[in-house]
Structure 1
Amino acid sequence: MSQSQNPEDAATKYGGRFLTEDAPAGDFPATGMSALDAMRLVDEELVLEGDPWRNLATFVTTWMEPEAQRIVSENLHRNFIDHAEYPISAEIEQRCIRMLADLYNAPGETTGCRTQGSSEAIMLGALSLKWKWKQRREAAGKDTAKPNLVFGGDVHVVWEKFCRYFDVEPRIVRLREDKYVIGPEDVEPHVDENTIGVAAVLGTTFTGHADDISGINDLLLRIKEEKGLDVPLHVDAASGGFVWPFLYPHSEWDFRLEQVRSINVSGHKFGLVYPGIGWLVFREQSDLAEDLVFYENYLGKTDATFTLNFSTGASMVLAQYYNFVRLGHEGYAHVMGAMNQNAKALAKRLEENGNFELIGADKEQLPLVAFKLAGEHDYDEFDVSWQLSAERGWMLPAYTMPPDAQEVKVMRALVKETLGRAQVDRLADDIAEACKTLEEKGGAHPHERKKMKRSPGY
């Protein structure tokens, strides 16, 4: 650097100062930095993260059209909860709820809300189940001290969180090594007068299949007729709510079933929106416990709120509406069909490989491939996942199933919009190459195994 050259100019021209300095990580910085330095610092920190395009683990959307990205970026400053100042954003939320109610065959006027994701939607839906149960018990002069909730071991962890946070007994139906979803015969022994509801999954995290929702509905109708217990059914359609209506339209799992009183769905999964949007839809307005609705007037007008969060950006609501009007039923059906077609192509390649056994490929399933090693090998599914990541950077999760199927090891590849046919073939080739390498060198070293991710959410 010449003596006349300004150090700041040199940094701008040749690189940020954090090429030779540690990044701020503990103490609050005493001084600031240029916008360019700050941007470069964040960019450099993210270099070693995984490539979202190679992330076969996440159900979350990793790509949106440029027009949708523009809507998102131009509305990040818009506080959705401030309905007085941003009434159109609030109206667009209601449009989305009405569209979802129509998609899920609601019999009449209904209600619902946007959430940060399905975890919040599940919390709110389950809270309404608890409050409605409490109201029924109090009206009958009965005790309300021991509520319970019935669900399978195939659910997302948020269901157990709800039970712990809100003092509800979880009655968890354990899985088996030959059965990874639940049905009416599994649910019936757990239902009694203190059951606030039954939760069933449409598209599990583990294998992408659905619980026998229609069968569980029939069971609850029989219990209502024989025992006088009106036990509602909540459908956790976080992943499947934007898949089944388009791939399996004749499959009854939604409000066509009498006991289905509420449904949650993630807009940021197969709703094709970036992270930060979920939906809760009730069958009828009366299915939302009124005690859970709060009214406030400190944002400019009296407003009703039913949410665990408060301030949040409007971007993802607007992006969801963009997708609804951009794609429509025909467009969503096309996108889901394309993903499913590529998933079938990947499944065929893996089956032809000879090393793997597909899990439930002949059943209704999310656009994914769930598979495990077939036969005896000197390596396991975790080794394949590790080798694939090391060789090619693919993030392909390996995990064990929930109890009592915990001895079963599974791998799962999500097939989304960003995984076209050429990438599918490349992935299949890379998996075959990883197996070839493992056959030559054996499984991972013990110290490598300590670093392995062992979760279906990885």
Structure 2
Amino acid sequence: MASRDGGQSARRPVWVNPLFGAADPASGITTVPPRHRLPDGPAAPATVSRLIRDELMLDGNPRLNLATFVTTWMEPEAHALMAGISDRNLVDRDEYPATAELERRCVPMLGHLWNAPDPDASVGTSTVGSSEACMLGGMALKRRWARRDTGRRAAGARPNLVMGVNVQVCWKKFCNYWEVEPRLVPMRGDRFHLGAEEAAERCDENTIGVVAVLGSTMDGSYEPVAGVCAALDALEERTGWSVPVHVDAASGGMIAPFLDPDLVWDFRLPRVASINVSGHKYGMVYPGLGWILWRDRDALPGDLVEHVDYLGGDVATFTLNFSRSGSQVVAQYYNFLRLGHAGFSEVQGALRRVATHLAGQIEDLGCFRLLTRGDQLPVFAFTTGDDVTRFNVYDVSRRLREWGWLVPAYAFPPDREDLHVLRVVCRNGFSLDLADRLVDDLRGLLPWLRRQSAPIFGPDDATSFHH
């Protein structure tokens, strides 16, 4: 037991709950294990597992996390499938050809979904999330720009990439890591994402491309991809500058094809060179999976593809990461077979219905103003009404956390930093019943919030912003 003699306790062993111990001290844990170095010896697997599970109880409930876009629920069969093949290294295609084949099948499936010119010959790959996919798309854009005019490149011209200020941070990382000038289009008034004309105005002969986001992280709205392409068509007619478009469809790439089939945003637009999606978002796979497809082989410069032969056979690779488990890819293939087009349409349609219902219920509370309504991505943002002075979005976020709900509060980027919002992401597993429970809990908090004389929390107390 711990000593109560002041300084002596720091030098004496501290016993843990005896239930974690074992009859044989060599197989149990009888003292608190070190946190920042390896323990001196091994311990029983069950004991270590229990200790770690106790630590993880401090995490929030993933199903009540309305901040994250990533999947927090999968069917038990998919769960078991992933666990059974987590030891398959996806890059080792010679040893695990069946796993590699499932990845190859997923690429043309996405090609058909996104109307590639020749879907069965689609060029693409899986990645570790959309961040890696965006890096690959950006690298291809820069390499193609460099080849257009070697004289300009030799003269020290700096490439630039045009995008809305609302893009996910991975695009800012790309510009930083690959020495590309980011040209960010700020928000204006009620335009919370990239505008078509605003994008074209920032392009010049050194623009490697424009990034259009199908489903903004900030508020769930679609950017006008077709409008951006039309504005760039007009720009090319005036100047001769041919600027390609990459569509960051991290979320919308698995929503729009099923719920908005008449929306033209994909490879039907000749200017769209590449598209990425997060399989671990509305592809409904646990975190760790993205996809990127190029329009055709000409859109992916061949010198970005490396070949290795030390895994037992020739392997072509054009990802930034190398070894990784094939379990997420197999889970994606499971979802494709399990749901099919009709199943995905049903699931995503249900999510949109939940989102629009929830947005309407929150609006009916009378003290919140909706910025979006969940009728594009099943995601919406809202803020407090102009007449609400006793509390703010940060107070609401903190109070909801006490009930187990994780709803992020944050400020919009330039030039709308004055706008502070809450955002709700509806994912598979978030039912209408849970949505109504959230409204009930929010309604129950309002009397307490209205008793405040002024807001208590502010931007410095904001919850983490999750992609």
* TM-score after normalising by structure 2: 0.91
Q: Does 1:178 align with 2:190?
A: yes
Q: Does 1:456 align with 2:458?
A: no
Q: Is the 8 A contact 2:411 2:459 kept in 1?
A: no
Q: What is aligned with 2:325?
A: 313
In 2, Cα distance between equivalents of 1:158 and 1:194: 21
Match of 2:180 among 143, 168, 179: 168
Match of 1:415 among 426, 432, 440: 426
Q: What is aligned with 1:159?
A: 171
Q: Does 1:327 align with 2:339?
A: yes
> Relative to 1, partners in 2 of residues 1:170 and 1:333: Cα closer, same or farther, differing over 3 Å?
same
Q: Is the 8 A contact 1:150 1:191 kept in 2?
A: yes
Taking every aligned residue pair, what percent have the same amino acid on both sides? 44
* CA drift at 1:250: 0.5
Residue pairs, 1:81-92, within 5 angstroms: 81-92=91-102
Residue pairs, 1:14-413, within 5 angstroms: 21-108=31-118, 109-138=121-150, 143=155, 145-361=157-373, 364-375=375-386, 376-390=388-402, 392-413=403-424
In 2, Cα distance between equivalents of 1:141 and 1:236: 27
* CA drift at 1:456: 3.2
Partner-residue secondary structure (3-state), 1:254: coil
> Relative to 1, partners in 2 of residues 1:11 and 1:442: Cα closer, same or farther, differing over 3 Å?
farther
> Relative to 1, partners in 2 of residues 1:395 and 1:8: Cα closer, same or farther, differing over 3 Å?
closer
Q: Letter of the 1:354 partner, please give it.
A: G
Q: What is aligned with 1:4?
A: none
Partner-residue secondary structure (3-state), 2:313: coil
Partner-residue secondary structure (3-state), 1:226: helix
* CA drift at 1:163: 0.3
**More displaced stretch, 220-229 vs 140-149:** 140-149
Q: Does 1:434 align with 2:434?
A: no
In 2, Cα distance between equivalents of 1:126 and 1:10: 51
In 2, Cα distance between equivalents of 1:175 and 1:400: 12
* TM-score after normalising by structure 1: 0.93
* CA drift at 1:110: 2.6
Q: Is the 8 A contact 1:183 1:213 kept in 2?
A: no
Q: Letter of the 1:425 partner, please give it.
A: D
1:207-258 Cα offsets, whole Å, 9 max, x none, are 0001111111011222223322111000000011101111111111100111
> Relative to 1, partners in 2 of residues 1:317 and 1:139: Cα closer, same or farther, differing over 3 Å?
farther
Report the count of equivalent residues.
445
Unaligned runs of 5+ in 1: 1-6
In 2, Cα distance between equivalents of 1:367 and 1:289: 35
> Relative to 1, partners in 2 of residues 1:64 and 1:443: Cα closer, same or farther, differing over 3 Å?
farther
Partner-residue secondary structure (3-state), 2:451: helix
Q: Letter of the 1:121 partner, please give it.
A: A
* CA drift at 1:87: 1.1
In 1, Cα distance between equivalents of 2:446 and 2:241: 53
* CA drift at 1:142: 6.5
* CA drift at 1:416: 1.6
Q: What is aligned with 1:3?
A: none
* CA drift at 1:11: 2.7
* CA drift at 1:195: 0.4
Q: Letter of the 1:82 partner, please give it.
A: D
Q: What is aligned with 2:6?
A: none
1:19-65 Cα offsets, whole Å, 9 max, x none, are x8434211221111100111011101101110001100000000000
Partner-residue secondary structure (3-state), 2:276: strand
In 2, Cα distance between equivalents of 1:409 and 1:187: 25
> Relative to 1, partners in 2 of residues 1:97 and 1:443: Cα closer, same or farther, differing over 3 Å?
farther
Q: Is the 8 A contact 1:84 1:301 kept in 2?
A: yes
In 2, Cα distance between equivalents of 1:281 and 1:186: 26
1:290-341 Cα offsets, whole Å, 9 max, x none, are 1111011000011110011000000000000000011011000000000111
Unaligned runs of 5+ in 2: 1-16
In 2, Cα distance between equivalents of 1:246 and 1:437: 42
> Relative to 1, partners in 2 of residues 1:227 and 1:427: Cα closer, same or farther, differing over 3 Å?
same
**What root-mean-square deviation, in Å, do the aligned CA atoms of Structure 1 and Structure 2 show?**
2.1
1:99-130 Cα offsets, whole Å, 9 max, x none, are 00110000113301100000000001100000
Q: Is the 8 A contact 1:137 1:144 kept in 2?
A: no
Q: Is the 8 A contact 1:379 1:443 kept in 2?
A: yes
In 2, Cα distance between equivalents of 1:12 and 1:99: 53
* CA drift at 1:9: 8.5
Q: Is the 8 A contact 2:129 2:279 kept in 1?
A: yes
